[in-house]
Chain A
């Protein structure tokens, strides 16, 4: 069955460093991947979407890559701040359109210390 894994349950880094989170998928070739941020007690907040024909996408301090050969997406936060502490979820859908279920990883909880 389709599977998506986020390698680390938790990642601790110091303020100012770059955080790199990994998302691997198996048994499928998604058309796009999405990354979300979830704070305790809140709903996921959409951050970035990257399509299979895009190698890299950036938004302010965030960068996402998508390697269809390695079946992997990397999510980077540069110049990390304590306010970036949250759980980050990756998700994929097999189709490049709405109307399909998102399959989520369990998330990586990032802690940025000052």
Chain B
């Protein structure tokens, strides 16, 4: 009974490079969420997706950030032209149509 899987667990990128974070939800969960946790801050919602649709991206920066959840395969959070301020832990969560959200172990992004 696998939980939410995220990879890579750690990612180092130089300023200006692209970062791709992957998330496989719990089997049977159709809802995926991405959150960001900055050092000394709480978890902040970024985006909520269902298969092939972005439902709510109100927490996502307007530029450089995008997310997808294709019909087949994991959900991807993509950050283009990374800057130092993007360094954070990025968590993915999934849920069934009603109920709690279950989180993955996170991807720790470091921008050098």
Known: A101-B33, A101-B58. A43 touches B101 (CB 8 A): no
What is the 8 Å Cβ interface bit string for chain B, positions 1-15, against chain A (1 contact, 0 not)? 000101000000000
Closest to A35 in B: B100
Q: A43-B91, A99-B48, A99-B55 are in contact. Are A49 and B100 (CB under 8 A)?
A: yes
Summarize A's interface: helix, strand, loop or mixed: loop
Determine whether B22 belongs to the interface, using a CB cutoff of 8 Å to chain A: no
With A98-B96, A100-B48, A101-B56 as contacts: A107 and B103 at CB distance below 8 Å: no
The distance from the CB of B7 to the nearest CB of chain A, in whole angstroms, is 13
Best-buried of A36, A43, A106 by chain B (most CB within 10 Å): A43
State whether A44 and B48 are in contact (beta carbons under 8 Å apart), knowing that A34-B100, A101-B58, A101-B59 are contacts in the complex.
Answer: no
Q: Is the CB of B43 within 8 A of A98?
A: no
Residues of A within 8 A of B41 (CB): 106
Residues of B66-112 whose CB lies within 8 A of A? 91, 93, 95-106, 108
In-complex Cβ contact of B104 among A43, A106, A107 (8 A): A43
Q: Which one of A46, A49, A102 lies within 8 Å of B45 (CB-CB)?
A: A102
Interface assignment of A89: CB less than 8 Å from any CB of chain B: yes
Q: A43-B91, A89-B42 are in contact. Are A97 and B97 (CB under 8 A)?
A: yes
Known: A98-B95, A105-B42. A46 touches B56 (CB 8 A): no
Most buried by A among B31, B93, B103: B103
Docked-complex contact B106 and A102, CB < 8 angstroms: no
B97 touches A98 (CB 8 A): yes
Asked, given contacts A42-B106, A46-B100, A97-B97, whether A103 binds B91 with beta carbons under 8 Å apart, the answer is no
Q: A44-B43, A102-B45, A106-B42 are in contact. List 13 more A-B contacts (CB 8 A).
A: A34-B101, A43-B103, A46-B100, A46-B101, A97-B97, A98-B96, A98-B99, A99-B56, A101-B45, A101-B48, A101-B58, A102-B35, A103-B45
13 examples of A-B residue contacts, CB within 8 angstroms:
A41-B108, A42-B105, A43-B103, A43-B104, A43-B105, A46-B100, A89-B43, A91-B43, A96-B98, A98-B96, A99-B55, A102-B45, A104-B42
